[in-house]
Amino acid sequence: MQATTSGPHVSVSPNPEWPNSSPESIRSVDLRGLFVPASGKATWTDLLDENCPRETRHLKLEVIQWESTKPESEEVSSTVRALTKILSTLCTSNEDRIKLENVRDVTRMFFSVRKPGIPLNTYVKRLVKHSRCSRSVFIVALIYLQRLEAAWPTLGATELNIHRLLTTCIMIAAKFVEDVHLNNLHFARAGGVSNVVEMNRLEATALALLKFQTFVSSEEYERYEKLLIRAGLAI
């Protein structure tokens, strides 16, 4: 399996851990402990640690090709499944740590007053479909989410902030990775942000919180690519 981005910024060498196969081939893959922590909760450190103890599962699944020739609907489905699993795990882990009433700094703009009515998997599917981005964008967006939490602990993913955070990070990642990307108004509509003015403000704030450090090394990219693959294969 070889993974490359569509943009000029990230180049990833072939991943020796995943066997080469045609998109149609079915292989028996031992996926014991691929993703799900036994506790049901995990931090970014846990998720990125390939040796972290996890629930034992043995699955027989098709090996997902990163440079997929499958119909778009299948590619969208696998990406949505992986992103939803990662984000829901993080939200569960942070639910007791991050409370809206304790968020009083600039990061509060990313929080909703109440939990949005749309399920996370439905929201992720909407963003994946309407952002019209390559998978590389979603990998880079995960990296930005982790960087924001590392710099600002109140920006750990929760059910109250993940919608604005994810939309903003995907939009910034699209501008970094893709040669051609959609504008802020389109992302505001896709993500359910009230208007383009708010979308602009979220983008500017996120970039400032990141200190405009948007570059991603090939090594960092590959770690998060592996995470997305593990999450997509786990059930």
Residue-wise pLDDT for 188-227, tens only, equals: 988 888 899 999 999 999 999 999 999 999 999 999 998 8
In a domain, 65, yes or no: yes
Q: Which domain holds residue 186?
A: 44-233
In a domain, 135, yes or no: yes
In a domain, 18, yes or no: no
Q: What percent of the chain has pLDDT over 90?
A: 26
Q: Is the pTM of this model over 0.75?
A: no
* CATH number for 87: 1.10.472.10
H-helix or E-strand spanning residue 8: none
Q: How confident is the model at residue 171 (pLDDT cuts 50, 70, 90)?
A: very high
